[in-house]
Amino acid sequence: MDSPKAGALRRKARAVGRVTPQIQQLIDGMIDAMHEASGVGLAAPQVGVSKRVIITEVEERLQVLVDPKIVKREGEEIGTEGCLSMPGIVADVPRAARVIVKAKNRKGKGFTLDADGLLARVLQHEVDHLDGVLFLDRVVDTSTIREVTASAEVEAAVTAA
């Protein structure tokens, strides 16, 4: 994103509750923004809206999660991450290898998502955004923090979310 709204990025986002047409509009705008940035995920605070909405797109499968809650975490995996709100920086971040997430979809219907691999990582990255946590806060080995310049390199090696 070109102009990260630092305030929203560091704030705890508010629960949505009922999924109104305004929230659906927010979701559509987020999908456009994620596609434009070739990202694999996006959280509403990244577009300056402090509400608990995230989207992910992994293996061409788009997921919309309103008021997501991680109800179970299993295992640990270290992987490289980047963030659309912090272009040009990547680092290795430990995450749970598998998560179970409860959320509402864009119609307000509850569902449960059982994810591992890249999707599990992106979900944890995005839910962190809702709590004002950025991926650099999760880095354990700070020697893995590095700058990347070529965007092709970022897309090949990294989860930008």
Q: Which residues are catalytic?
A: 126
Identity of the residue numbered 61: R
Pick the closer one to Zn ion by CB: 5 or 108: 5
State the DSSP code for 15.
Answer: P
- We find the least distance from the C-beta atom of residue 134 to Zn ion, in angstroms, to be 7
Question: Rounded to whole angstroms, how far apart are CA atoms 17 and 2?
Answer: 29
Q: Phi then psi for 28, rounded to 5 degrees?
A: -60, -40
Report the nearest approach of Zn ion to the CB of residue 108 (Å): 25
Q: Does 13 bind Zn ion (CB under 5 A)?
A: no
Q: How many amino acids of this chain bind Zn ion (CB under 5 A)?
A: 2
Mask of contacts with Zn ion, 28-67, x by CB under 5 A? ----------------------------------------
83 scored as a contact of Zn ion (CB under 5 A): yes
In whole angstroms, the minimum distance from the beta carbon of 109 to Zn ion comes to 26
Q: How far is residue 100's CA from residue 102's CA, in Å, rounded to a whole number?
A: 7
CB 11 within 8 A of CB 128: no
Q: What angle do CA 87, 48, 132 make, to 5 degrees?
A: 75
Residues that bind Zn ion (CB under 5 A): 83, 161
